[in-house]
Chain A
Amino acid sequence: MLKTMIFLMTFLMAFPAYAVDGKKLLEQVDRNLNPESYEAYRKLINIEPDGKKKEFTMYSVKKGQDKIAVLFLAPASDKGRSTLRLGENMWLNIPNIGKPIRITSLQSVVGGVFNNADIMNLDYSAEYDVEGVSEAAGNYLLLLKAKTKTVAYDRLKMWVDKGKKLPVKVECLTEASMLIKTLYFKDHKDFGGGIVRPAVIETDSPLYKGYKSVMIFAKIKKRVFKDEVFTLTYMPNLESLR
């Protein structure tokens, strides 16, 4: 009897992983992380091996699957800089130069381990297909493959908290499965408006040994913007949205 009970419980614990719709799970993760359209404040801290830090404060706005803009608020040398992502197009606008220039997702306008794709990240379900779902260490493990060659990372391994449907860890890999960086999602916080999510994302990379970058979210609020906000001509005006 006891053996039967143990077998049934094991079967019931394993079975849900095979019944999980990976695509739906990924979409749920996206919605649990952020509303589809929102504004947020973030701080990005680059930490060097000797402990020295460089901090950037940013205001971000996002709409739908493929529109995101970021405005730098601090430090003074970066204040007023903005980046815009519209589909597969990305631009950087520096106030003194004033003319937006095209940039790539693998560059980093702030240095450190985070790059432009991490700062201006779209929904995971917009950029990745789910190749497989399994269980690992009590979490779901999603294996993701980039939909196009223009996506920053060819493959992702995403560990998702079963109960909260939020990422715990993401490994970003090349096509040859070489590890580029790892993102750790920590410090769950209630941001209000039904948004409960990790407030801290830490990242490290075997390519930058000893360096760490941390992204802290201070405010995330659902907000709908007009499409015209996400245009090159509007970039100098992002401050007026705050």
Chain B
Amino acid sequence: MKRNVNLFLILLLIFPAAVLAEESYTFDAGEIEKKPYHFGGYVELRPVLYVLDRDAALYKLQYYQDPRSTFIEWNGRFQLEGSYEKGIGSVFVKTNTDLHYSTFANGNERTAIFDGYGTLKPSPSWKFEVGKKTLKWGKGYAWTPVNFIDRPKDPYDPDLPIEGYIMATMDYIRSFDGPLKTFSFTPVILPVYDHINDDFGVNNRINAAGKVYLLLYDTDLDFIFAADGSRTTRMGMDFSRNITTSFEIHGELAYIKDYQQPFLDNAGILQSRTQNVVSGLMGIRHLTTFDLTTILEYYHNGMGYSADDMKNYYNYIRQGYNRYNSTGNAQMLNVAQNLATGGYGRLSPMDDYLQLRLSQKEPFDILYFTPAVTVMFNLDDQSYNITPELLYTGITNLELRLRAGFIRGSRDTEFGEKTYDYRFEFRAGYYF
């Protein structure tokens, strides 16, 4: 016995790997057991510091009653989602609660059901859904001109979840051999009534829309339409294709009939023009062998304002601000704020933009670390916004992001007249 123990110890010294057991990897059956229900969620804290531009027109519009140089905004987000599946049917619900507190506007909270729909899937070729959801049509990263149905996304943070609309949809899918590999058709019915999608457009309408998708010669192609209803008739198409395995090209084209645009003329009189407009986007995405991703997109916004339109708007605000200071009458500023809730206040309100985004995965072998920089350039007035960011995902289910925004532009330009010159944001998000 003693000899056996001595022999073991000698072998252990000479061949430790051979004697000790190899690491065994476990895979618990409970990890893959499918339950009919699922619960999960996401919680986020996002403080933001703004360094304001007191000479900017939009600063005067927003802070004329409470001037300041900086302010801090504390934002929280809490999302809960759950699903239940039985046979060919399932239900999915996602709620979103946004909390804001700032040194300017105190606190507010908004809770909404972002998604809440029932699904029937009788076969892989057919799916029927009714409820509140998003469609996410389009191939663009920062902008999607063919997004005729969903709420617009934030081009400065395009990956943020957005609230859906109540609709009924269907997917019909067919696969083939040959150059046409896939065909699918997705019709959409979207009602607009009191308390049902009432921010979509004109009330008391049933809206019809649809998308045809083809995978043809290894190219994703979509043909999209939205009939006249709460909004005017729109048609569009998009595509996405790999030119090489690491180089992708995509584009969108949208035609909007009878688009009505309110605008201020150079006398400060509110006018309206109705015209057919065309919006488009072209973009590329490239990945290098050392994991640098480049996304470059050009966007033409057919519903946008010209440089002269924006100059008239900024002049109107400055006149309103001067009148308020001399008489206390804020009427012009109130009109300007109403216009800001429409096209003038939209993100990317002007005609032509270019966005470049560079992100480098794990530089210098720093695991789970991705720095990036995004530059958005307004081609009409040569103003721009630079957003560097650092992202860390090294802790399971936790995402940490630090972002800054640097705005540059002269007077009467989009970025030159924004409320702030600098913006610093930290975001901590946890999934469960």
* Chain A interface residues toward B at CB < 8 A: 41, 43, 45, 48, 54-55, 57, 59, 73-77, 79, 86-89, 94, 96-99, 101-102, 104-107, 111, 149-150, 200, 214, 216, 218-219, 225-234, 237, 239-240, 242
Q: Is the CB of A54 within 8 A of B396?
A: yes
Most buried by B among A77, A101, A111, A226: A77
Q: Is the CB of A226 within 8 A of B125?
A: yes
The verdict on B351 contacting chain A, using a C-beta distance below 8 Å, is no
Most buried by A among B123, B160, B181, B285: B181
Q: Identify 16 residue pairs between A and B in the complex whose beta-carbon atoms are under 8 Å apart, listed by A's number.
A: A48-B367, A75-B431, A77-B396, A86-B182, A96-B160, A102-B240, A105-B245, A106-B245, A111-B362, A111-B368, A219-B32, A226-B125, A228-B174, A233-B213, A234-B124, A237-B124
Q: Is the CB of A111 within 8 A of B367?
A: yes
CB distance from B170 to the nearest CB of A (A): 11
Picked from A55, A150, A231, the residue with its CB within 8 Å of the CB of B175 is A231
The verdict on B171 contacting chain A, using a C-beta distance below 8 Å, is yes
Picked from B171, B184, B215, the residue with its CB within 8 Å of the CB of A89 is B215
Q: Is the CB of B213 within 8 A of A237?
A: no
Q: A97-B159, A228-B174, A242-B34 are in contact. Are A79 and B40 (CB under 8 A)?
A: yes
Q: Is the CB of B125 within 8 A of A228?
A: yes
Most buried by A among B139, B158, B161, B182: B182
CB distance from A96 to the nearest CB of B (A): 5
Cβ-closest chain A residue relative to B144: A99
Which of B23-31, B228-236, B373-381 touches A? Answer: B23-31
* Chain A residues whose CB sits within 8 angstroms of the CB of B399 once the complex forms: 77
Q: A218-B27, A233-B182 are in contact. Are A73 and B32 (CB under 8 A)?
A: yes
The verdict on B220 contacting chain A, using a C-beta distance below 8 Å, is yes
Q: A98-B136, A106-B245 are in contact. Are A233 and B287 (CB under 8 A)?
A: no
CA distance A88 to B242 in the complex (A): 9
The verdict on B382 contacting chain A, using a C-beta distance below 8 Å, is no
Q: Is the CB of B159 within 8 A of A75?
A: no
Picked from A43, A59, A237, the residue with its CB within 8 Å of the CB of B127 is A237
CB distance from A136 to the nearest CB of B (A): 22
Q: A54-B396, A228-B124 are in contact. Are A104 and B246 (CB under 8 A)?
A: yes
CA distance A75 to B396 in the complex (A): 7
* Chain B interface residues toward A at CB < 8 A: 25, 27, 29, 31-32, 34, 40, 85, 90, 121, 123-125, 127, 134, 136-139, 158-161, 171, 173-175, 181-182, 184, 186, 213, 215, 218, 220, 240-242, 245-246, 248, 285, 287, 289, 291, 362, 367-368, 393, 396-399, 431-432
CB distance from B58 to the nearest CB of A (A): 29
Cβ-closest chain B residue relative to A48: B367
CA distance A214 to B24 in the complex (A): 11
Q: Is the CB of B32 within 8 A of A216?
A: no
* Chain B residues whose CB sits within 8 angstroms of the CB of A86 once the complex forms: 181-182, 215
Q: Is the CB of B159 within 8 A of A77?
A: no
CB distance from A222 to the nearest CB of B (A): 17
CA distance A77 to B175 in the complex (A): 31
CB distance from A41 to the nearest CB of B (A): 4
Cβ-closest chain B residue relative to A200: B25
Picked from B32, B134, B240, B245, the residue with its CB within 8 Å of the CB of A98 is B134
CB distance from B128 to the nearest CB of A (A): 12
Q: Is the CB of A87 within 8 A of B431?
A: no
CB distance from B251 to the nearest CB of A (A): 13
Q: Is the CB of A76 within 8 A of B431?
A: yes
6 closest cross-chain pairs (CB), A and B = A227-B175, A98-B136, A76-B431, A233-B184, A228-B124, A77-B431
Q: A48-B367, A75-B431, A227-B175 are in contact. Are A102 and B25 (CB under 8 A)?
A: no
CB distance from A14 to the nearest CB of B (A): 31
CA distance A57 to B28 in the complex (A): 11
CA distance A76 to B139 in the complex (A): 26
Q: Is the CB of B29 within 8 A of A228?
A: no
CB distance from B141 to the nearest CB of A (A): 8
CB distance from A92 to the nearest CB of B (A): 12
Q: Is the CB of B431 within 8 A of A107?
A: no
* Chain B residues whose CB sits within 8 angstroms of the CB of A87 once the complex forms: 181, 218
CA distance A98 to B124 in the complex (A): 19
CB distance from A30 to the nearest CB of B (A): 21
Picked from B25, B215, B240, B246, the residue with its CB within 8 Å of the CB of A45 is B25
CA distance A79 to B367 in the complex (A): 21
* Chain A residues whose CB sits within 8 angstroms of the CB of B182 once the complex forms: 86, 231-233
* Chain A residues whose CB sits within 8 angstroms of the CB of B393 once the complex forms: 77
CB distance from A170 to the nearest CB of B (A): 19
CB distance from B245 to the nearest CB of A (A): 5
* Chain B residues whose CB sits within 8 angstroms of the CB of A107 once the complex forms: 287, 291
* Chain B residues whose CB sits within 8 angstroms of the CB of A150 once the complex forms: 245
Q: Is the CB of A59 within 8 A of B285?
A: no
* Chain A residues whose CB sits within 8 angstroms of the CB of B173 once the complex forms: 228, 231, 233-234
Q: Is the CB of B287 within 8 A of A104?
A: yes
* Chain A residues whose CB sits within 8 angstroms of the CB of B367 once the complex forms: 48, 111
Q: A76-B431, A97-B159, A102-B248 are in contact. Are A226 and B25 (CB under 8 A)?
A: no
Q: Is the CB of A225 within 8 A of B32?
A: no
Most buried by A among B171, B367, B398: B367
Q: A77-B397, A226-B125 are in contact. Are A232 and B90 (CB under 8 A)?
A: no
Most buried by A among B25, B31, B213, B398: B25
CA distance A228 to B256 in the complex (A): 33
CA distance A77 to B428 in the complex (A): 13
Q: A98-B136, A232-B215 are in contact. Are A240 and B161 (CB under 8 A)?
A: no
* Chain A residues whose CB sits within 8 angstroms of the CB of B158 once the complex forms: 97
* Chain B residues whose CB sits within 8 angstroms of the CB of A239 once the complex forms: 85
Q: Is the CB of A240 within 8 A of B90?
A: yes
* Chain A residues whose CB sits within 8 angstroms of the CB of B174 once the complex forms: 228
